[in-house]
Structure 1
């Protein structure tokens, strides 16, 4: 069974992973509201909602399964939450580090 799961993962594009980066969230959204919205797509390991001036309106959602994350990304991008259309992306560590380096 582990071989079948590993074989399925090889067909996914390389940018697909279990961590989603969500932008354009309402500033007052809570972690529990995020669980309600994104939990419909599968088991969630962790949610981090931005709380500083620089990170408000953003969040990270970490799914247990990569296919749940893929499904959530496909269905939630453009979803309307409190009159704000969500931008849902796969987290890419290299881009985040480059952005932090250029801001300094």
Structure 2
């Protein structure tokens, strides 16, 4: 059975592997409020959670969790490079594997330094 005009149903959409419901947002204005975040990102669909970082070393970043993956994709597509309060947003899909790779690398480097100290390597 052929589809008219080659159109497919919504269930047939194939998304890239990195696409998920969690967005990592960088370069946020430091003075942006939670309400402003919900107003901006809520235009693309229902939001489960927004976590704006308040620690000095991660200030200007946030995680936005959408209910639906297609809403997250729309927000990422439309808000990446969006100018708000004089800053251009960097919107990426959250990748837990990148976070674990960073922590694994740090632990391996610490282990290597420990071994070098133990065996007298410079």
In 2, distance between residues paired with 1:75 and 1:15? 17
Deviations 1:8-49 (A, max 9, x none): 46x111100000000000112122110010000000000000
Does 2:37 align with 1:34? yes
1:13-92 map, 5 Å: 13-92=16-95
**Relative contact order, CA 8 A, sep 6+: which one is greater?**
1
Quote how far apart the aligned CAs of 1:58 are.
0.3
Equivalences, count? 99
Output the TM-score relative to the length of structure 2. Answer: 0.74
Q: Which has the higher helix share?
A: 2
**Structure 1: unaligned runs, 5 residues or longer:** none
CA distance in 1, matches of 2:77, 2:15: 13
Is the Cα–Cα contact under 8 Å of residues 50 and 56 in structure 1 kept in the other structure? yes
Give the number of the structure whose alpha-carbon radius of gyration is greater: 2
| Aligned-residue CA RMSD (Å) | 1.7
Q: Is the 8 A contact 1:30 1:49 kept in 2?
A: no
Change (3 A) 1:101 1:38: same
DSSP-derived class of the 1:54 partner: helix
After TM superposition, the score normalised by the length of structure 1 is: 0.86
